[in-house]
Structure 1
Amino acid sequence: MDGLMMDQPLLLSGLLWRTERLFHDKKIITRVGQGQYHSYSYADYAKRVRRLASALVDFGVKPGDRVGTIAWNHYRHFETYFGVPGIGAVLHTINMRLFPEQQAYLINHAQDSVLMIDADQVSAVERLVEIGIPSVRAFVVMGEGPLPETSLEPVYSYDELVDSGTEDFQFPTFDENTASAMCYTSATTGDPKGVVYSHRAMVLQAMCLAMHDKLNMSESQVWLEVAPMFHCNGWNIPHTALLQGATLVLPGVHPTDGDYVEMVQDLGVTGMNGAVTIGTMMRDFVRASDRKWDLSSLKTMWLGGQAPSRAIMEWWERTFGTHVVQGYGMTECTPQICFNSTKSTLADQDPEAVYALRQTGGQPIPLMKIKVIGEDGTELPWDGTSVGDFWVQSPFTASEYYNDERTKESMVDGWFRTGDVGAINEHGYVIIKDRSKDLIKSGGEWISSIDLENALMAHPKVREATVVSVPHEKWLERPLACVVPSDDSITEDELRDYLLTSFAKWWIPDSFLFVSQVPKTSVGKYNKKEIRAIFADGGVSRVRERLA
């Protein structure tokens, strides 16, 4: 017997329908200069999105065509989030921090037909044309003023394109499994892998994030989207903010840590999301500033990419009353797998136990299933100690990579093998031990680089730290720690003795390198692949020389 419900597809245009009626007076704010902001309402946003959609149809963009963007977080880029998929085309947000050869690979693999780019990216895209991006038939430049001089052709003004459309355009209805957007993995190993999101997946993910009590994405929020909009669709926060009618703040072109701090104070920001390094840089900016900053409006700071240290959690809470939260996600899951909050039945534990929970990846979000698979292929119990590979399954998890043979390595019997290793406790909290490629096997025993990193970053004289596996003649692999000190008086022996209070002697890194910076990937994660490559080129001395 079939249910007797209306067969209405879950489409992104449905989110916009709700927002422009219920939250038409709420704002989207973009930083356009120091202390300067562009602001318009969701009603005005919806009109421009409809104009964009209409103009793209007239421009010859057809359902299924890929439209690439190389742009910062600003209102024009956000308009493409709904204007492009609204007509059945596919929005491909391209990581602007990749090398030109990598960007060209993404564009050619996706077969983008149109590129929408920020004005400051024009020269970089000219380089892409030299490398070869034959599928691209037009370039659209976003920004103020006249078009810059360029060898790109044909080239159009984004605002003129939008102005040519009609604001009473009606979005078509189509199957909810139609592709809406594409993102590529950040390529820590091999070429990036393409993930194609459906309208259904993105709507469901936004609804799941909206209902999470600790994120509290509600109409009353003023939310600062720091995570790049090219990275997993800004963690789907822009869609969720729009769905809930939250004031959305976008940091604009070339933002700095000081700009983020200034926006929080100027606009009364209540929540924000970004890489762990963002929370660290904002803290360091406030500490070093001779100005007194009032960031007390900031109640929630979602830090991702890797687990935030307890030290950063405690500083923000102690200084401004800001609750630092984290989750666990990846491009293939649209992107969230888990989100962290402390269950009410566990909140009255001693502070050490509560912090231990807060430093896990959290519990699976609604509609997400997860299991731990041991080396022998059997499913392991949720006891907090049985360590294996995480496999996940949900309506917003990729079933395959786009045009990529590597699908068979990751998708097995309807489950996605994440490549992450860890355990799940009896309350469903996911304890991430490491990426499988970052685990250190020394003398036949496993060492978690993440556990060592978290411990190091809790030291009061450590600003940043990462731990990588390097070859060893006797033990095959040993940990190497790269540490950015916050106090130059720190010593290797001090760190070694500090770690010995929590770890067995054989876990302790053989070397602690004090460096000026830790290499990071294009999305702000510690780039262990680069450190291992430098070590392979010349050992510890070469790493010290390159990172000094």
Structure 2
Amino acid sequence: MLGSMMTQNLLISDLIEHAGKYHADTEIVSRETSGAMSTTNWRDVAADSRRLASALGTLGLGMGDRVATLAWNNHRHLKIWFAVSGGGMICHTLNPRLFPEQFIFICNDAADKAMFFDKTFMPLIVGTRAHLKTVEHFIYMGAHDEEVAAAVPGVLFFDDLIETGDVGYEWPELSEETPCSLCYTSGTTGHPKGVLYNNRSTMLHTFSISLPDALSLSSRETILPVVPMFHANAWGIPYAAAMTGAKLVMPGPGLDGDSLLGLIDEQKVTLALGVPTIWMMLLASAEKSGSTMPSLRRNVIGGSAAAPSMIATFRDAYDCETIHAWGMTETSPLGTANQIKGKHADLDVDALAELRLGQGRPPFGIDIRIVDEDGVALPHDGKTEGALQCRGHWVVDTYFGNEDSTLTQDGWFDTGDVSTIDVDGFMVIRDRTKDIIKSGGEWISSVDLEGIAVSHPGVAMAAAIGAKHPKWDERPIIVAVKADGANPSEEDIIAMFEGKIAKWQTPDAVVFTGAIPLNGTGKMLKNKLREQFGNTLIERGL
């Protein structure tokens, strides 16, 4: 024998123990459901996580039991995450924005045995409780509350429960393959599907997203995860914050622009993460207040593509670097992050801005490719478009409760996106397979059209869809929501496309609407828009 190295399982419980030991006094600031602010630290989060894990055991919860959360991003939710996963149970984050029927389906499909909830969501508990077949314990995330006790008979209270736990509780020695968390997809058709993560996949994902070429996290950061903890595990940020010892600022229910701006300036946030609709509200609030957000150095955008104008505003007006990232519930979720390489340092402003528009390149641990309709791999030349597929250490194989693999015969996961990939691995999402507009046999990217449309100051939100056309099968149209106080015309918006794209790709019409329907994670429901506006060109005789 030549020698050997220690072998230890990769476990989530080690994350919180590390944070509690080596970053004990680093603050965790969170907004309560009431709007009040509270401050704790990694030492106390670690101690309370152990207490809670111990207390859950006294309720009869054990290995593999699903424990649901219906909650905002706050310190109690953080403690639940580590207590449940560290204790060998499975933390199932529920999306409160789902329709009640979907909510009921997901809870029953997961066979949740306990459910934590914030007061905001008490009506959902009251309205669906009779249909939740497996939930034995409802735990209100706060101190004893008579209103909650009256509305949810038999309810337990987080603050009381944690006091019964043992701070000397020792985390179980688990296999790193032990499941730790469960998230459901936010599909727009059919029932959502569960993605079951394990300790190993989560830990490898946590290492990877912390790297400089991914999200570049460290103990020097003050991080504001606006992305909800119920949305693909907040992109893994709570785990990575514990690993790196970063300060966390948890926004609770205050996701409007003014509330987020207040947190950024008061807590000196250096990094914020969220979807484009959130950043549009933040920029509007910053402009209105006159704040320059001096502490904010970086923001990460995911969920959908950001408009070039938004990225430029962050850069030019606020000296804030925008990092595009891409991923899915099925990829834990990070698949790519747009960090430049050394050779790009001397690019001029315009060239660098162009590079920043894409979703970036994969960190170590995940691989991507594009294929044609027959599954044949296509060249990574930055021009050829194909179906995006991926594989790696934190990519789904089988969905929860399903023995059939989701992968292709040669072991890749089909993402449902259409993209290009260049020789350096920089990937650009051109569209969702189901959303790309096919006009006369040619593809038109709805993502590109939307980015141009929302660059008009009078447009608050825009969706590009394919409308039926008697000659070309379908043609692009824009469905737009006007910005407050603005009244752009159809001609004003159509004029925005001149010189930016090929003339034949220019939308044939603009339709104004009061609101664009969104799913539970803030993505536009284009199937609903196609149902409503798909006959626009035929009705207009265009």
Same fold by TM-score greater than 0.5: yes
2:392: which partner in 1? 394
1:139: which partner in 2? 138
State how 1:55-134 maps to structure 2 within 5 Å. 55-130=55-130, 132-134=131-133
Please report how far the alpha carbon of residue 494 of structure 1 lies from its aligned counterpart in structure 2 after TM superposition.
3.0
The answer to whether the 8 A contact 2:214-2:336 is kept is: no
The answer to whether the 8 A contact 2:241-2:248 is kept is: yes
Q: Residues 411 and 97 (structure 1 numbering): CA distance in 2 closer, same or farther, change over 3 Å?
A: farther
Q: Residues 96 and 2 (structure 1 numbering): CA distance in 2 closer, same or farther, change over 3 Å?
A: farther
The answer to whether the 8 A contact 1:218-1:246 is kept is: yes
Q: Residues 444 and 292 (structure 1 numbering): CA distance in 2 closer, same or farther, change over 3 Å?
A: closer
State how 1:369-448 maps to structure 2 within 5 Å. 369-404=367-402, 410-448=407-445
2:18: which partner in 1? 18
Please report how far the alpha carbon of residue 335 of structure 1 lies from its aligned counterpart in structure 2 after TM superposition.
0.3
Please report how far the alpha carbon of residue 86 of structure 1 lies from its aligned counterpart in structure 2 after TM superposition.
1.0
1:184: which partner in 2? 184
Q: Which runs of 5+ in 1 are unaligned?
A: 543-548
Please report how far the alpha carbon of residue 410 of structure 1 lies from its aligned counterpart in structure 2 after TM superposition.
4.9
Is 1:528 equivalent to 2:526 in the alignment? yes
Query: How many positions carry a matched residue from both structures?
Result: 538
SS across alignment from 2:113:
strand
Q: Residues 53 and 33 (structure 1 numbering): CA distance in 2 closer, same or farther, change over 3 Å?
A: closer
Mean Cα displacement is larger for which, 508-517 or 364-373? 508-517
2:348: which partner in 1? 350
Q: Which amino acid aligns with 2:302?
A: G
Q: Which amino acid aligns with 2:133?
A: P
2:453: which partner in 1? 456
Mean Cα displacement is larger for which, 295-304 or 313-322? 313-322
2:206: which partner in 1? 206
SS across alignment from 1:236:
helix
The answer to whether the 8 A contact 1:467-1:479 is kept is: yes
Mean Cα displacement is larger for which, 26-35 or 345-354? 26-35
1:7: which partner in 2? 7
The answer to whether the 8 A contact 1:422-1:434 is kept is: yes
Task: Quote the Cα distance in structure 2 between the aligned partners of 1:56 and 1:311.
Answer: 48
Please report how far the alpha carbon of residue 145 of structure 1 lies from its aligned counterpart in structure 2 after TM superposition.
4.2
SS across alignment from 1:467:
strand
Q: Which amino acid aligns with 1:413?
A: D
SS across alignment from 2:32:
strand
The answer to whether the 8 A contact 1:380-1:388 is kept is: yes
1:241: which partner in 2? 241
Q: Residues 35 and 461 (structure 1 numbering): CA distance in 2 closer, same or farther, change over 3 Å?
A: same
Please report how far the alpha carbon of residue 142 of structure 1 lies from its aligned counterpart in structure 2 after TM superposition.
0.6
Task: Quote the Cα distance in structure 1 between the aligned partners of 2:454 and 2:253.
Answer: 30
Q: Which amino acid aligns with 1:142?
A: M
Q: Which amino acid aligns with 1:379?
A: A
2:464: which partner in 1? 467
1:509: which partner in 2? 507
The answer to whether the 8 A contact 2:28-2:247 is kept is: yes
The Cα offsets for residues 165-199 of structure 1, whole Å up to 9 and x where unpaired, read as 01110001111011000000112222111100010
The answer to whether the 8 A contact 2:33-2:120 is kept is: no
2:473: which partner in 1? 476
Task: Quote the Cα distance in structure 2 between the aligned partners of 1:295 and 1:181.
Answer: 35
The Cα offsets for residues 305-351 of structure 1, whole Å up to 9 and x where unpaired, read as 11211211111222221111110100001000000112120232232
2:309: which partner in 1? 311
Task: Quote the Cα distance in structure 1 between the aligned partners of 2:388 and 2:200.
Answer: 24
The answer to whether the 8 A contact 1:465-1:481 is kept is: yes
Please report how far the alpha carbon of residue 213 of structure 1 lies from its aligned counterpart in structure 2 after TM superposition.
4.5
Task: Quote the Cα distance in structure 1 between the aligned partners of 2:527 and 2:35.
Answer: 38
Output the TM-score relative to the length of structure 1: 0.93
Please report how far the alpha carbon of residue 87 of structure 1 lies from its aligned counterpart in structure 2 after TM superposition.
1.3
The Cα offsets for residues 248-289 of structure 1, whole Å up to 9 and x where unpaired, read as 0001234422110000111111111011111101111223x3
The answer to whether the 8 A contact 1:32-1:38 is kept is: yes
SS across alignment from 1:212:
coil
Task: Quote the Cα distance in structure 2 between the aligned partners of 1:540 and 1:28.
Answer: 53
Task: Quote the Cα distance in structure 1 between the aligned partners of 2:364 and 2:342.
Answer: 18
The answer to whether the 8 A contact 2:227-2:235 is kept is: yes
The answer to whether the 8 A contact 2:223-2:246 is kept is: yes
Task: Quote the Cα distance in structure 2 between the aligned partners of 1:370 and 1:354.
Answer: 23
State how 1:477-492 maps to structure 2 within 5 Å. 477-486=474-483, 488=486, 490-492=488-490
Q: Which amino acid aligns with 1:57?
A: G
Please report how far the alpha carbon of residue 146 of structure 1 lies from its aligned counterpart in structure 2 after TM superposition.
2.0
The answer to whether the 8 A contact 2:286-2:292 is kept is: no
Output the TM-score relative to the length of structure 2: 0.94
State how 1:276-295 maps to structure 2 within 5 Å. 276-287=276-287, 289=288, 291-295=289-293
The answer to whether the 8 A contact 2:223-2:270 is kept is: yes
The answer to whether the 8 A contact 1:193-1:404 is kept is: no
Give % identity: 34
Please report how far the alpha carbon of residue 409 of structure 1 lies from its aligned counterpart in structure 2 after TM superposition.
5.6
Task: Quote the Cα distance in structure 2 between the aligned partners of 1:489 and 1:255.
Answer: 26
The Cα offsets for residues 218-242 of structure 1, whole Å up to 9 and x where unpaired, read as 1111111110110011110111111
Task: Quote the Cα distance in structure 2 between the aligned partners of 1:307 and 1:364.
Answer: 17
SS across alignment from 1:500:
coil
1:263: which partner in 2? 263
